[in-house]
Amino acid sequence: MSSELIIKLDAEGEGEVIEYSVAIGDTINEGDSLLVVESDKASMDIPATRSGVVSKWLVEIGSNVSQGAELAMITAAQTSTQQDTIKAAAERAEIAAPEESTVATVQQVADSASNDAVGSREIIISLDAEGAGEVVEYSAAIGDSLSEGQALLLVESDKAAMDIPTSSAGILTKWLVQIGDQVSQGQQLAIITVTAEQTSIAARVTAAAVPVTEVPETSETSVTPQQKTVIATTTPVASINSSISAGPAARKLAREMAVDLSRVTGSTYRGRILKEDIKAFVKQQMLSVPSNTAVASAPFDEIDFSQFGDIETKKMSGMARATSAHMTRCWLNIPHVTLSDEVDITELEAFRASFKPEEFQLLKKPTILPFIIMIIAKALRKFPQFNCSIHPDGQQIIYKQYINIGIAVDTPAGLLVPVIRDADKMSISELVQQVNNLADRAKNRKLSAADMSGGCFSISSLGPIGGTGFTPIINGPEVAILGVASAETKPVWDGQSFIPRKKLPLCLSFDHRVINGADAGKFLGMVRQYMEQIGKIIL
């Protein structure tokens, strides 16, 4: 038997119906997106408040709706024990949107009281999926009580990140793999302890929700191992991590959008977080958060580029992903202004040419970068507004009494910014050694987290790569960064004739919340003066 239910708009405000998220006849779960309503401030996914089959729309595309409006009619089956079991399995697995399948093998390794209601047994969870990947995260902790279908751990391959679910309810007893391990088909992942009661419940849910294929029993020992293969979808299964309930699809979207799941409220049964919840959270953040709070932009629609020609997809390194997320936050949250100038470095280049490395225990002549670092350090002392950070509350400014300067280094793993500490207290030869040491360690992946923290100001130099200028992105929570382009010899009129002079383009990006244009001009003017009159650098 079934009953007709009407879904109403519970949200405050009003807007226009711009899109149906499902079609008539579709089966939806509680919390699934029903339709999209757009107001003059934002577009919102309106979730279904009950599970069932969509039988009729009560609003048309283009209709204006407000709180209490009747949106759709769904047919919901009456409650029964069997239907509740199926519903619970469906909510755990989000069966409505499977993406790919993983096969998990359950193997019994011990039985303390066979066929006894109060008995328990240990079960090994193995990976039966084709392919291989790296264990990047535990989704549960030793001692946790798990339900069938909850995520056990996260395996990342070169194609996707997959949550590997438990195939039976029980208590997690032991890990058989470590973070960073490479696993492949047949790999034993963990041991869980299962009671007879849990086994019985799990069998009923599995029978209702997913197909099960029994493997013939063997009798090699007195304790007969039994194996069964359970087919379970990777994306639909539940994910438990620090009390956060979210499926792999939602977790993947959260990683892409740099969203902290602990800040997202799930809209479904037991607070489970769906992709729609993450999208709604991002929309809300972009409309309402203070300018100093990190937010992320919504990703572009997925496009099948192979329809236009041959393609090759490569996995981003973990460092590259982290840099991408950080740069996105900095660009979105810091009002950038870039001031460009061109500095005459003819005299500085002549001084560098006369530099004798052996006199300072150096292997080769210094590049121009150590000189720029020393000049920036002096400028930061004179202009403290460039050596500060905005407090997270957005109401205070933190002025730093130390001068640590970061230098951007291009490495095979991505862009890294190691920090030279107390740069204002170093000589040119000491800065040369520091720059060379940090650059070598960066390229060999030997930098620690401490080596890349505590910066006050960053310098990004293109060196001989080329380019007449660019807009460097501020490395928040810093408030400024200097971009150095490629030097070029140009004819300069001295009043009587054109003479060759070497010009270096500089690009200063600054946070307009704490630095105004006049201050930026004075700062860059000091840098220009010191670079053009190199003798002043030691005064």
Active-site amino acid positions? 512
Three-state secondary-structure class, residue 334? coil
- The letter for the amino acid at 113 is A
Evaluate whether 83 touches 208 at the Cβ level (below 8 Å). Answer: no
Q: For residues 15 and 46, is the Cβ–Cβ distance under 8 A?
A: no
- Nearest CA among 126, 91, 451 for reference residue 245: 91
For residues 402 and 456, give the distance between their C-alpha atoms in angstroms, rounded to a whole number.
Answer: 8
213-242 burial, b at 16+ Cβ within 10 Å, e below that, comes to eeeeeeeeeeeebeebbbebbbbbbbbbbe
Query: Hey, which bits of 227-293 come out as E strands?
Result: 227-233, 240-241, 244-245
- For 282, list phi and psi in degrees, rounded to 5: -65, -45
Distances, alpha carbon 254 to alpha carbons 93, 263, 294, 538, in Å:
18, 11, 14, 51
User: Rg for the chain (alpha carbons), in Å?
Assistant: 31
First to last CA, the chain: 91
**Residue of 283, 244, 285 whose CA lies nearest to 265:** 244
Q: CA nearest 354: which of 534, 146, 526?
A: 534
